[in-house]
Chains A and B, each alone.
Chain A
Amino acid sequence: MDAIAGLSMGFANALSLSNLGWALLGCFLGTAIGVLPGLGPALTIALLLPITFSVSATGAFILFCGIFYGAMYGGSTTSILLNTPGESGSIITALEGAKMARNGRAGPALATSAIGSFVAGTVGTLGIAFLGPVIVELALKLGPAEYFSLMVLCFVTVSAVLGGSALRGLTSLFFGLLLGLVGIDLQTGQPRLTFGVPELLDGVNVVLVAVALFAVGETLYLAWRHVEGKAEVLPVGRIMMSRSDWKRSFWPWIRGAGLGFPFGVMPAGGTEMPTMLSYYAERKLAPPEAQKEFGTTGAIEGVAGPEAANNAAAAGVLVPMLTLGLPTSATAAIMLSAFQSYGIQPGPMLFTTQGELVWTLIASLFIANVMLVVLNLPLVGLWARILKIPQPQLYAGILIFATIGTYGISNSVVDLVLLYGIGIIAMFMRRFDFPVAPVVIGMILGPMAEQAMRQALTISQGDWSTFVTRPASLVILLVAVAALLGPKLYGAWLRRMAG
Chain B
Amino acid sequence: MSLHRRNLFTAALGLSAAGMMGSPAWAQQRFANIYMFVPAGPGGGWDGLGRAIEQVARGAGLVGNFQFENVGGAGGMVGLPRFASQRRGRADSLMVGGSVMVGAGITNKSPMTIKDVVPIARMTEEIGVVVVPSSSEFQNMGQLLQALRTNPGAVAVGGGSAGGTDHITLGLILKALGRNPREASYVAFAGGGPAQAAIIGGQVKAGISGYSEFAEQIKAGRMRALATTGERRSDPNVPTLKESGVDVVTSNWRGVFGAPGINASQRQALTDLMTAIHALPAWKQTLETRGWDDAFLAGAPFAEYLNRDITSTEEVLRDLGLAT
Interface residues of A (CB under 8 A from B): 42-43, 45-47, 49-51, 53-54, 139-144, 183-191, 196, 198-199, 201-202, 267-268, 320, 324-329, 332-334, 337, 340, 343, 345-349, 410-411, 451, 455, 458-459, 461
Contact = CB atoms under 8 A, between A and B. Distances in A.
B93 interface: no
Nearest to B212: A340
B322 A201 contact: no
17 contacts: A42-B43, A43-B42, A47-B2, A47-B5, A140-B201, A190-B109, A190-B322, A191-B108, A198-B81, A202-B73, A326-B192, A328-B194, A328-B197, A346-B216, A458-B185, A458-B186, A461-B153
Interface in B120-173: 153-154, 156, 161-164, 167
Contacts of A451: 190
B154 A47 contact: no
Given A191-B109, A459-B204, A184 B42 contact: no
B216 A201 contact: no
B71 A411 contact: yes
Contacts of A53: 9, 13
Contact of A184 (B74, B111, B186, B220): B74
B185 A333 contact: no
Nearest to B8: A50
Q: Which of A49, A198, A325 has the most CB of B within 10 A?
A: A198
B185 A410 contact: no
Given A191-B109, A201-B78, A143 B154 contact: no
Contact of A326 (B74, B187, B197, B322): B197
Given A46-B43, A324-B200, A349 B186 contact: no
B42 A46 contact: yes
A410 B126 CA distance: 28
Given A54-B9, A349-B220, A144 B190 contact: no
Contact of A47 (B6, B188, B289): B6
Contact of A188 (B42, B162, B196): B162
Given A47-B6, A348-B222, A199 B42 contact: no
Q: Which of A189, A343, A345 has its CB near the most chain B CB atoms (within 10 A)?
A: A189
B197 A50 contact: no
Contact of A198 (B12, B47, B77, B217): B77
Contacts of B72: 202, 410
B220 A347 contact: yes
Given A198-B81, A327-B192, 7 more contacts: A46-B43, A187-B187, A201-B74, A268-B197, A333-B191, A337-B44, A343-B289
Interface of B: 2, 5-6, 9-10, 12-13, 41-44, 47-48, 51, 71-74, 77-78, 80-82, 103-104, 107-112, 153-154, 156, 161-164, 167, 185-194, 196-198, 200-201, 203-204, 215-217, 219-220, 222, 289-290, 322
Contacts of A333: 43, 191-193
Contact of B43 (A49, A185, A329, A348): A49
Contacts of B13: 50, 53-54
A267 B193 contact: yes
A196 B188 contact: no
Given A144-B187, A198-B81, A201-B77, A334 B108 contact: no
A143 B203 contact: yes
Contacts of A196: 111
Given A50-B9, A54-B12, A325 B71 contact: no
A81 to B, nearest CB: 24
A444 to B, nearest CB: 14
Contacts of B41: 42-43, 46
A190 B201 contact: no
B185 A461 contact: yes
B161 A186 contact: yes
B219 A347 contact: yes
B198 A143 contact: yes
Contact of B110 (A45, A198, A334, A345): A198
Nearest to B161: A186
A470 to B, nearest CB: 10
A410 to B, nearest CB: 7
A494 to B, nearest CB: 43
B162 A189 contact: yes
Given A325-B217, A349-B216, A199 B185 contact: no
A185 to B, nearest CB: 8
Contacts of B82: 198
Contacts of B108: 184, 189-191, 201
Contact of A458 (B104, B111, B164, B187): B187
B123 to A, nearest CB: 18
Contacts of B201: 140-143
B200 A140 contact: yes
Contacts of B190: 186, 451
A345 B216 contact: yes
Contacts of A45: 43
A186 B77 contact: no
Contacts of A54: 9, 12-13
A198 B322 contact: no
A410 B73 contact: yes
A340 B72 CA distance: 22
What 6 A-B pairs are tightest by C-beta distance, nearest first?
A: A347-B216, A267-B197, A189-B163, A46-B42, A189-B107, A201-B74
Contacts of B111: 196
B155 to A, nearest CB: 10
B187 A47 contact: no
B194 to A, nearest CB: 5
A413 B72 CA distance: 15
B9 to A, nearest CB: 5
B112 to A, nearest CB: 8
Contacts of A268: 194, 197
Contacts of A191: 108-109
A412 B172 CA distance: 38
Contacts of B220: 347-349
Contact of A186 (B6, B80, B188): B188
A53 B52 CA distance: 12
Given A46-B41, A334-B43, A144 B216 contact: no
B272 to A, nearest CB: 27
A186 to B, nearest CB: 5
Nearest to B205: A459
B134 to A, nearest CB: 11
A110 to B, nearest CB: 27
A327 B6 CA distance: 25
Contact of B193 (A185, A186, A189, A332): A332
A460 to B, nearest CB: 9
